[in-house]
Chains A and B, each alone.
Chain A
Amino acid sequence: MSKKTTAVLLALSTVSCTTMSAGITSLAADEPVTISFVQAQPEYQEAAGQLIQAYMDEHPNVTIELVTDSTNLKTNLQAGNIPEIFYTEGYNVMKAYTDYITDLSDQPWVESISDEALECVTLDGKVVGMPFTMAGEGIVYNKTMFQENGWEIPTTFSELESLCQQIQDAGITPFANEFGDAWLLGQLMSAGGYAYIPDTQDFTDKLYAGEATFSDNEQMQRTFDVIDLMLKYGLPDSLSYGWNETCAAFATGECAMAFEGDWIWDTVNPIDPELDCGIFALPITENPEDTKMIVDANMCWHVGKGSPHPEAAIDFINWVTTSDTAKEILLTGYKIVPCFKGWTYEGNNKLSESTMAYMESGMTYKWWWQKWPDSFRENAGKEYQKYVSGDSSREEVLSAIDQLWTEMTAE
Chain B
Amino acid sequence: MKKNKKYWLNYGLFVGPILCSFFLFYLLPIILGIGYSLYDWNGISNAKKFVGLDNYIKLFTGDKNYFASLIFTFKYAFFSVILTNLLAMAFALWVTGRLKSSVWMRTCFFLPNVICAVVAGMLWKFILNQAVPQLGKITGISILGTKLLASPQTAWIAVLIVSLWQGAGYNMIIYIAGLLSIDKGYYESAAIDGAGRIQRFFKITLPLMMPSITICLFNTIAGAFRMFDMNLSLTDGGPGRATQGMALDVFKTAFSENRMGYGSAKAMILLIIVIAVTFIQTGFTKKREVEM
Contacts and interface: CB of A to CB of B under 8 A. Distances in A.
B134 interface: no
B238 A382 contact: yes
A98 B46 CA distance: 10
Interface string A1-26: 00110011011001100100000000
Interface in A278-334: none
Nearest to B145: A237
A386 B152 contact: yes
A364 interface: no
A240 B129 contact: yes
A38 to B, nearest CB: 15
Interface in A352-376: 373-375
B152 A245 contact: no
A243 B43 CA distance: 29
A391 B152 contact: yes
A189 B241 CA distance: 18
Interface string A372-386: 011100110011011
B8 to A, nearest CB: 13
Interface size class of A (residues with CB under 8 A): 35 or more
A237 B44 contact: no
A83 interface: no
Interface stretch (B17-25, B184-192, B202-210): B17-25
A239 B21 contact: no
Interface in A216-272: 237-242, 245
A391 B240 contact: yes
Interface stretch (B219-227, B255-263, B280-288): B255-263
Given A7-B14, A378-B256, A411-B259, A15 B150 contact: no
Secondary structure of the A contact surface, majority rule: helix
A296 B10 CA distance: 65
A74 interface: yes
B44 A78 contact: yes
A257 B165 CA distance: 37
B13 interface: yes
B181 interface: no
Interface of A: 3-4, 7-8, 10-11, 14-15, 18, 74, 77-78, 96-100, 179-182, 237-242, 245, 373-375, 378-379, 382-383, 385-386, 388-389, 391, 407-408, 411
Given A11-B13, A240-B149, A242-B125, 18 more contacts: A10-B17, A11-B17, A15-B17, A18-B24, A74-B44, A97-B45, A98-B45, A179-B239, A180-B239, A238-B150, A242-B129, A374-B258, A375-B252, A375-B256, A378-B256, A383-B240, A386-B152, A389-B151
28 contacts: A4-B13, A7-B10, A96-B44, A99-B44, A180-B150, A239-B151, A239-B152, A239-B238, A239-B239, A240-B128, A240-B129, A240-B147, A240-B149, A240-B150, A241-B129, A374-B256, A375-B257, A375-B258, A378-B256, A382-B237, A382-B241, A385-B238, A389-B240, A391-B152, A407-B62, A408-B257, A411-B40, A411-B259
